[in-house]
Amino acid sequence: MGMRSVRAALLGGVLAMAGGLTALAQEVGVTPDRVRIGMFAPLSGPSAAYGQDVLNAARMWFDKINREGGIHGRQIEAVVEDDRCNANDLVAAVKKLVEQSNVFALNGGSCSAAVVAASDYVVRNRVPLVMLNASGDGALFPPNDYIYGAFSISQHAAGGSAVEFAARHFNARRIAYVNHDDAYGAWNLNAAKFQAERRGAGLNVQSISPNITDVTAPMVRLRAANPEVLVIMTYARPAALIIRKAMELGYRGPIVVAVNATADLRQMVANGGGPEAFRNVYIQEVLADLPGSARLQWVYDMYRQAYPQLASQEGRPQVYMPYGLPSAMSVTRALEAAGPELTREKFLAALQGLDFDSGVMAGPIRFGPRNRAAQQAAIYIKYDGATMERVPGSFASDWRFE
Amino acid sequence: MPPQQAVAALPARASSNLRLGLLVPAVAAVVALALLPVFTSGYVVYVANVLLVYVVLSLGLNLVIGEAGQFSLSHAAFYGIGIYAAALGNKLLGLPLVGCLLLAGVVAALLGGVIGTIALRMRDIYLALTTFAFGEAMQWLFLNWEPVTGGPNGLRIPPSSLFGVEILNDKQAYPVVLGVALLMLGATVVISRSRLGRAFRAVRESDVAAMAMGIPVRRVKIMAFLLSAFYAGVAGGLFATFSTYIHPESLGFQTTMTVLTMVVVGGLGSTGGALLGAVVFGLISELLRQAPAVQEMTYGLILILFMMFVPRGLAPAVSRWVRGRGHV
């Protein structure tokens, strides 16, 4: 053994001691009557609307389970941290939950880019992470043993589902597809191409900047291709520009708008050219039915009962509130399936085998040996700027990570 | 002792008390810092690592703004350049930790020198706007140069290695981060007391007077930007030592403003101030995460109170307080 190897071995020893070589106790965060779950979401700042009520929804589900006696005699103890929708703060929150609060598993993350920042850490420390409402494609593909998410829908599935709807519902063979020229756009296009090929349809794609201010050039090109359906996978502001331009260019075919753009529909109608431009517009929705419909009423009733003061405030519950439920349901179902002798390995194995209807989302919550993205389907709603009419059925993406 | 000698000895004794008053807490702080990983959780060490990165960032920004009096609103850009340079040096070139840190500092410094050269033609608000524009342009580049930076998908940073050993957690990274931060602190003190430091301050007070005294103003200004960017680059390299991911959103104007707040609240033009400001405001920001409902308001209120009651910064206030105790 040369001097260099000796030095490396010594240094390795010193660093390992400094690192504290903590034996990874599998039962960390578990006592006979309690299991500690670390939750994190943006609870302050401009992105709080993505996380506050989503986390509240997950907590109200845990509270319900606790009132019913817990799981295998254990009450769920939620420890909450604010991640500010920012990568550095999210990592701080996760490290605090894991290393200081000693949680058994993590249930958090509403911001896709930020949650990816913690992915290497949770994998290295073998901590299960069940995301809240982040689509989180960057952390889910390629799949690993510790991270589960996309309870609303992954970017991949959003693209695949929109094309499935255009091809199946309208029997379209020429589909115009506008996405962003960033990673999110690349992800949804990936699945959209797969779905189009499977349905024998052609995709005419225009990828635009999220900051675009004039969509004339890409729209003229798409118009020239005489599409049967126009699919818009952009954020709200470019989507409104595209809808307005489509009307100006005389396009009267169906327009399908992805869920990414639908947080404030009234604003989209105002920016998109008014009701005239919305004569043939369909919006993608990942819930099981129209928001506020009888089928989902129990979700909103449960929220009002759990948070009466909050529910009385203007703008509550926030739009994405229901998304927190399937995530929390997955945690409690996996805890149940893992059995009374709870370990992280058993919990992870149980997560992999989950397949259930949440009663909240458009499709089933389903994982598998190579699938970490829970939800692949969407419903579609005809929206004329004032009223909503659901198209029967749900439309799922068939793309899977290979 | 004759009365005259006793009077003459008074200031020396006060000075000696003052030095002792500073030395004891300084030694205690270094010992506490060195032992931190032994007694605390990985989370606390992570926070300490982040604070040390902020310290290096603040020291660098203080050099150009506080010492040399040149507006610079592109510090986050140089920090980002440092992070990406270190991460890519590690990922693509397989450089060891020290190589990555040097690469981060040098690449940032070179670009800092370019900005410094451009800055020769401008001052005050025009310089501020130009550096702000550079910062924005760099963030745009981080977001859109996808093959290199990962774009909006972010970039995963592989573990750094020191003498063939991979650094896989915060406690392992901490000795390196602490060591480099102390080294940069020492270098700042040396620079501040050197001929160059005096030249910085002369330029800050008056370009014309400095020129009249024979100071090469152009070279000094470029040097200020170059050194400041070097610090930011090294801070980025340090961040890449204990972090596994970087996203361009973390490298915008908000980060520059955070560091600027640290420097101003600490005491503009004071090395100790940059150090104190980074630690105090970094800690406040982390502690306020526990109060999401009121954190923005509380942060703003604390900042206003600092500006009202400690307008010249924390370091001069602490210094006055210690002197007062020294005389007693």
Q: Where are the domains of chain A?
A: 30-152+295-371, 155-285+380-396
**Sign of the four-CA dihedral A348, A353, A359, A361:** positive
Chain mean position to CA B242: 17
A377's enclosing H/E stretch is strand A377-383
| Res B180 pLDDT > 90 | yes
Taking the Cβ of residue B41 and every Cβ of chain A, the question of whether any pair is shorter than 8 Å is answered with yes
Domain A30-152+295-371, CATH: 3.40.50.2300
Taking the Cβ of residue B286 and every Cβ of chain A, the question of whether any pair is shorter than 8 Å is answered with yes
Does residue B175 or residue B120 have the better pLDDT?
B175
How far apart CA A107 and CA A19 sit, in angstroms, is: 26
A142 φ/ψ sector (left φ>0, alpha ψ -120 to 50, else beta): beta
In the structure encoding, which two tokens stand for residue A316, read together?
A: 């509550």
B155's enclosing H/E stretch is strand B155-156
Q: Which of A88, A94, A106, A208 to mutate to test the interface with B (most CBs of B within 10 A)?
A: A88
Distance from the Cα of B124 to chain A's closest Cα (Å) equals 30
Helix (H, G, I), strand (E, B) or coil at A263: coil
Q: Which ranges of A200-323 would DSSP assign to H, the alpha helix? A: 216-224, 236-248, 265-271, 297-306, 308-311
Taking the Cβ of residue A390 and every Cβ of chain B, the question of whether any pair is shorter than 8 Å is answered with no
| Residue A17 one-letter amino acid | M
Q: Which of A17, A85, A99, A179 to mutate to test the interface with B (most CBs of B within 10 A)?
A: A99
Query: How much is the average pLDDT of B229-236?
Result: 98
Chain B residues with CB inside 8 Å of A12's CB?
Answer: 164-165
Closest CA to B85 of B144, B157, B185: B157
Taking the Cβ of residue B44 and every Cβ of chain A, the question of whether any pair is shorter than 8 Å is answered with yes
User: Does the residue B243 lie in any domain?
Assistant: yes
Contact assignment for B244 to A120 by CB distance below 8 Å: yes
A6's enclosing H/E stretch is helix A3-19
Backbone angles phi, psi at B94, to 5 degrees: 65, 30
In the structure encoding, which two tokens stand for residue A246, read together?
A: 């489509």
User: Does the residue B1 lie in any domain?
Assistant: no
User: Does the residue B194 lie in any domain?
Assistant: yes
Architecture of A155-285+380-396 per CATH? 3-Layer(aba) Sandwich (3.40)
How far apart CA B18 and CA B12 sit, in angstroms, is: 10
Task: Supply the ipTM of this predicted assembly.
Answer: 0.83
User: Does the residue B50 lie in any domain?
Assistant: yes
User: Does the residue B90 lie in any domain?
Assistant: yes
Contact assignment for A18 to B46 by CB distance below 8 Å: no
The answer to whether A81 and A97 have CB atoms below 8 angstroms apart is: yes
User: What total of structural domains would you count in chain B?
Assistant: 1
Mean pLDDT of chain B: 88
Prior bond of B311 cis (ω within 30°):
no
Distance from the Cα of A53 to chain B's closest Cα (Å) equals 13
Taking the Cβ of residue B164 and every Cβ of chain A, the question of whether any pair is shorter than 8 Å is answered with yes
Instruction: Say how many CB pairs under 8 Å bridge A and B.
Output: 113
Q: What is the pLDDT of residues B51-69, one digit of tens each?
A: 999 999 999 999 999 999 9
User: Does the residue B296 lie in any domain?
Assistant: no
Helices and strands per DSSP (H, E), number in chain A: 15, 15
Q: What is the pLDDT of residue A19?
A: 44
Q: What is the pLDDT of residue A250?
A: 95
Taking the Cβ of residue A6 and every Cβ of chain B, the question of whether any pair is shorter than 8 Å is answered with no
Taking the Cβ of residue B236 and every Cβ of chain A, the question of whether any pair is shorter than 8 Å is answered with no
Q: Residue A214: CA atoms inside 13 Å, Cβ hemisphere, count?
A: 2
Can you give the residue range of the structural domain that contains B92?
45-251
Name all contacts of B283-287 with Cβ < 8 Å and 24+ positions apart.
B283/B47, B283/B51, B285/B258, B286/A92, B286/B47, B286/B50
pLDDT by position in tens, chain A (length 402):
445 555 555 555 544 444 444 434 458 999 999 999 999 999 988 888 889 999 999 999 999 999 999 999 999 999 999 999 888 899 999 999 999 999 999 999 998 888 999 999 999 999 999 999 998 898 999 999 999 999 999 999 999 999 999 999 999 999 999 999 877 888 899 999 999 999 999 999 999 988 899 999 999 999 999 999 999 999 999 999 999 999 999 999 999 999 988 878 889 999 999 999 999 999 999 999 998 899 999 999 999 999 999 999 988 898 899 999 999 999 999 999 999 999 999 999 999 999 999 999 999 999 999 999 999 999 999 999 999 999 999 999 999 998
User: Does the residue B129 lie in any domain?
Assistant: yes
A80 φ/ψ sector (left φ>0, alpha ψ -120 to 50, else beta): beta
User: Does the residue B36 lie in any domain?
Assistant: no
Q: What is the pLDDT of residue B326?
A: 56
